[in-house]
Amino acid sequence: MALILPAGYDPVLTIRETQEAIKFIRDLFQKEFGRQMNLERVSAPLFVEKSSGLNDNLSGIERPVRFDIKDIQREDIEVVQSLAKWKRMALAKYGYKPGEGLYTNMNAIRRDEDLDNLHSSYVDQWDWEKVISKDQRTKETLRDAVRTIFKVIKHLEHGVWYKYPQAVNKLADDIFFITSEELLQKYPDKTPKEREDLIAKEYGCVFIEEIGSRLSNGKPHDGRAPDYDDWSLNGDILFWFEPLKCALEISSMGIRVDEEALERQLELANCQNRKSFDYHKKLLNGELPYTIGGGIGQSRLCMLLLKRAHVGEVQASIWPKEMIETCADHKIYLL
């Protein structure tokens, strides 16, 4: 995705007003989200030991930021790429019961990200995880959680409209569900990104299900690590984003792997060596709870609700000098 410069773009709010709006959106969302989903806020690590197996390798090609700590010998430390595994361990350690869960602020560094309107080297999201029973590992459980998240975002839209009526973005009134295979059959001659844009534009908001496994064309819709989401019970929430004329992913989420799904997906991904990690041993031994969870982009949500053309308008990160200057020439002021 090359840098997009919308014609006639107007940020409406000043930089200081934008900072105020960012705080308003984040405070309101996490309060309402925690209440609706029965989640408690907890503290989470910025980095973990590589040998723990707790870090997320995302699609498998991203390089984590790695360093050493003077007082911890013979151990590589990695900045987290997501907290998918750590959250499940925390639920077990802290004694959460079915129906209870946690959320936290997750910050990460994506050193291999291609920087553009939607992608930054700095990641800020709400990571959440909730305990469920084994018989709740169903598509309906997943869809119920998706609908709740959508409802909270719509509640937030009304809150932003009340406080910043001149700046708020009008969102779709409902969310549409479709599997990645159904989406492929609907647009067989399009790339995954083109399919996402088309379906998001048609429905306004969509949840694309079952991401990770190969489709009938021999390719997965998108990459997913084999050891957190169950590829048959996961998906992404996308909104149509008119300023950039594209789908905007707000959340990736899913019901997490059980013992059988982990075995199957590690084999498919040729990652059986991960069974030696402490996390994977605990999961295969039935020592971890069954859970559902995901991440919700904080800056992406601010972009969506305030109709901002660049993620750098709602987060402080590092950008190429040329991008900063070009954006400023088009009233896109990066923090």
- Residues with catalytic function: 56, 110, 125, 236, 249, 252
Q: List Cβ neighbours of 315 (8 Å cut-off, separation of 6 or more).
A: 120, 122, 124, 298, 299, 302, 335
Length of the chain as a residue count? 335
| C-alpha distances in Å from residue 183, one per residue of 59, 220, 246 | 21, 12, 16
Give the CA count within 13 Å in the CB-facing half-sphere of 254.
Answer: 25
CA distance readout (Å), 326 to 6, 148, 202, 330, 332: 12, 39, 31, 7, 8
21/308 Cα distance (integer angstroms): 12
Measured distance CA(191)–CA(1) in Å, rounded: 13
Query: What sign has the CA pseudo-torsion 33, 34, 38, 39?
Result: positive
